[in-house]
Amino acid sequence: MTLGCFAPLPPARTGVADYAAALLRALRPRVDVRVNAPGDVDLYHIGNNGLHRGIYRRALARPGVVILHDAVLHHLLLGALGEKAYLEEFVYNYGEWRRQLAGELWQGRARSAADARYFEYPMLRRLVERSRAVIVHNPAAASRVRRHAERVRVSEIPHLFEQPELPPAYEVIRLRAALGVPATSFICGVFGHLRESKRLWSVLRALEQVPGCRLLLAGEFASRDLERAITPALRQSRILRTGHLPERDFWLHACAVDACINLRYPSAGESSGIVVRLMGIGKPVVVTAGEETSAFPEDAVVRVDPGPAETSMLAHALAWLSQNPEKAREIGRRARAFIAGRHSPDRVAARVIEVVRQALPSQ
């Protein structure tokens, strides 16, 4: 069997590219993989942005197995379709009686990154109906897929974690010193693309309630509007900023923080690669409670409810973590053990190959 693999790959600045490259390394000893070329079965990595337009079109034209990294494709289609095609696609997904809503969403598309309605209508039907099988990373994504196509074969496979070569301790100490963070100070990090759904306003409001906490923002803004609005609030000494970090620098900064904040609301049904990576190296991670994070053990992650209590719960969590460093480290140790047991490349690759074999055209 040959396996065609279609995905954005590094140096593309997206977690999907990093994931696809890691999965390729795990698959190659097991199967004949052809990158961006057809095989007996094709594997398509699909996310909710313009990098995936060509892959999406190919997955429709030559059905194979889809790894759905975002269980919402609304924003991808908003950017790929004109008004008429968008309206027809929305009606195809949700019925003629929703045509007026489709028109309203098209007209308001400039707000699509923050408006929950665009996440409530994932527009998955055409892709998942055409696919031989769909792979997702969490129960929320599986539910969304099945709501759009009841008979589709859906497999839930944990998000892959490839153990990195971590920097030596002296480099971490040196970085914290360069950032102006004393050894005893508590620093939390927000990594990856900085977008509205990362809840940065809530993070900043929570930070105001925890005087001893510092914040590292490591990533580029995905929205110019958000960047313009929030930049004045970032001009304080205990907020540290970097842009996009190359792989080695990412791990250096990840090792330098005491905890990670990765809130997601509205959610696209995604499993965050940042969360898995930080848990995998033993860091306590604060996440938004929901189906997307339900597989993580209660004692291996810190959950914050979306909604009115979000800021106060986050502030309480940060205060508790900063005041209880040994307990925070214990959460990190449990997180690392959990990720090592369920998210290893060998385990994920074996399950992907199993799904692919079941999807062979002859079957």
282-322 pLDDT, tens digit each: 999 999 999 999 999 999 999 999 999 999 999 999 999 99
Q: Please name the residue ranges forming H helices in 8-120.
A: 15-27, 53-61, 74-80, 83-94, 99-107, 117-120
Give this prediction's pTM.
0.94
Residue 308: CA count within 13 A, CB half-sphere: 0
**Structural domains in the chain, sorted by start:** 2-73+122-160+344-358 (3.40.50.2000), 169-342 (3.40.50.2000)
| 121 touches 94 (CB < 8 A) | yes
62-83 per-position pLDDT tens digit: 999 999 999 999 999 999 999 9
Is pLDDT above 60 for 352? yes
Residue 237 has pLDDT above 90, yes or no: no
Give 84-100 pLDDT, tens digit per residue: 999 999 999 999 999 99
Residue 64 contacts by C-beta under 8 Å, 6 or more apart in sequence? 4, 41, 42, 43, 44, 131, 132, 359
Contacting residues for 216 by C-beta, under 8 A, at least 6 apart: 179, 187, 188, 189, 190, 240, 241, 242, 253, 256, 257
Q: What percentage of the chain reaches a pLDDT higher than 70?
A: 99
C-alpha torsion sign, points 233, 302, 280, 114 = negative
CA trace torsion 303, 14, 343, 165 (10° rounding): -110
